[in-house]
């Protein structure tokens, strides 16, 4: 099948792109990497009358640091993010999560912002943004607003992004040096969306957990922040943690579902093992350092 007819625009500035979105009155779609959009267009599951290609906007590319915050341009390719020296140094969890997004070939075109904006509940990057306390910057002709990632996701493929808004940055607070990454994913095949996924980070100082950020993917209609286990971990000494008890708390905030691939009970059961294994491995790395 071929896409329905549309008008194509390739702006070179954010202001120009925002004006195009405003003028379209909800009839425009943004093209970045196109890994999800192009199949939808071909199947006519998406039929915009205007396609706004943002790949020529240099301001939306690259990674920079500013005042303890890492700014990631949404059109930064996923493979570029994996190789980026700044991200590897200050945001290793994002690099680790991005390695699990799709396949090497799709990551050549797929963008960080595209994954963040799509709102796929079983995707790695939205949940990682939630776990790390990231925010997204949204621009339109009405102005610019910043919203926390944990408030950005409203439901499956539903976000707070308005039809006239453009995602212009992902802003990730930097965690202390030596922060321990937590990442586990259970999928049917490498590159598939996760049946169960955990992502997060722990900062340990003087043998105690000083900061915790943990989120699930594939465990509900949106990325889910594991608030109860985060609260339980804070202030705890890393020696003698009740790992199994914490694993029960970790899945308490989830809302898994039955589908063709797994039941809700399977997801909860595997989630407990996933959390326990990830926590034990992170603490083992800490002790070996």
Write down the architecture of domain 58-173 according to CATH: 2-Layer Sandwich (3.30)
Q: What is the mean pLDDT of residues 251-280?
A: 96
Residue 263 binned pLDDT confidence (cut-offs 50, 70, 90): very high
Average pLDDT, the chain: 95
Asked if pLDDT for residue 1 goes beyond 80, the answer is: no
Asked if pLDDT for residue 287 goes beyond 80, the answer is: no
Can you tell me the distance from the alpha carbon of 267 to that of 258, in angstroms, rounded to the nearest whole number? Answer: 9
Contact 199/128 with Cβ under 8 angstroms? yes
Write down the architecture of domain 180-288 according to CATH: 2-Layer Sandwich (3.30)
Residue 221 binned pLDDT confidence (cut-offs 50, 70, 90): very high
Q: How does DSSP assign 255-266, residue by residue?
A: -----SS--HHH
Pick the CATH number of 7-53 from 2.40.50.140, 3.40.50.1100, 3.40.50.2300, 3.30.43.10: 3.30.43.10
Kindly give, in sequence order, each residue whose CB lies less than 8 Å from that of residue 61, ignoring residues fewer than 6 positions away: 73, 75, 76
Q: What is the mean pLDDT of residues 262-273?
A: 97
Q: Where are the domains of the chain?
A: 7-53, 58-173, 180-288
Kindly give, in sequence order, each residue whose CB lies less than 8 Å from that of residue 66, ignoring residues fewer than 6 positions away: none
pLDDT of res. 2: 87
Residue 191 binned pLDDT confidence (cut-offs 50, 70, 90): confident
Kindly give, in sequence order, each residue whose CB lies less than 8 Å from that of residue 144, ignoring residues fewer than 6 positions away: 137, 138, 168
């Amino acid at each position: 099948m071929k896409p329905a007819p549309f008008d194509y625009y390739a702006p070179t500035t954010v202001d120009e792109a925002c004006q195009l979105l405003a003028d379209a009155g909800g009839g425009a779609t943004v093209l970045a990497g196109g890994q999800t959009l192009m199949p939808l267009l071909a199947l006519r599951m998406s039929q915009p009358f205007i396609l706004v290609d943002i790949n020529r906007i240099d301001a939306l590319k690259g990674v920079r640091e500013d005042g303890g915050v890492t700014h990631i341009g949404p059109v930064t390719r996923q493979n570029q993010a994996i190789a980026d020296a700044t991200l590897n140094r200050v945001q290793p969890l994002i690099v680790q999560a991005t390695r699990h997004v799709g396949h090497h070939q799709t990551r050549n075109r797929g963008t960080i912002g595209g994954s963040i904006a799509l709102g796929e509940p079983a995707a790695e990057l939205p949940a990682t943004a939630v776990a790390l306390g990231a925010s997204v910057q949204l621009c339109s002709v009405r102005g610019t607003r910043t919203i926390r990632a944990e408030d950005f996701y409203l439901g499956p493929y539903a976000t707070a992004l308005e039809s006239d808004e453009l995602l212009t940055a992902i802003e990730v607070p930097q965690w202390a040096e030596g922060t321990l990454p937590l990442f586990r994913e259970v999928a049917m095949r490498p590159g598939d969306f996760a049946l169960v996924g955990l992502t997060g980070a722990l900062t340990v100082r003087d043998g105690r957990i000083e900061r915790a950020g943990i989120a699930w993917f594939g465990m509900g209609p949106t990325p889910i922040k594991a608030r109860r286990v985060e609260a339980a971990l804070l202030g705890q000494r890393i020696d003698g943690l009740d790992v199994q008890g914490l694993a029960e708390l970790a899945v308490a905030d989830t809302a898994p579902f039955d589908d063709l691939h797994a039941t809700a009970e399977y997801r909860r059961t595997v989630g407990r093992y996933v959390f326990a294994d990830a926590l034990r491995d992170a603490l083992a790395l800490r002790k070996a350092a």
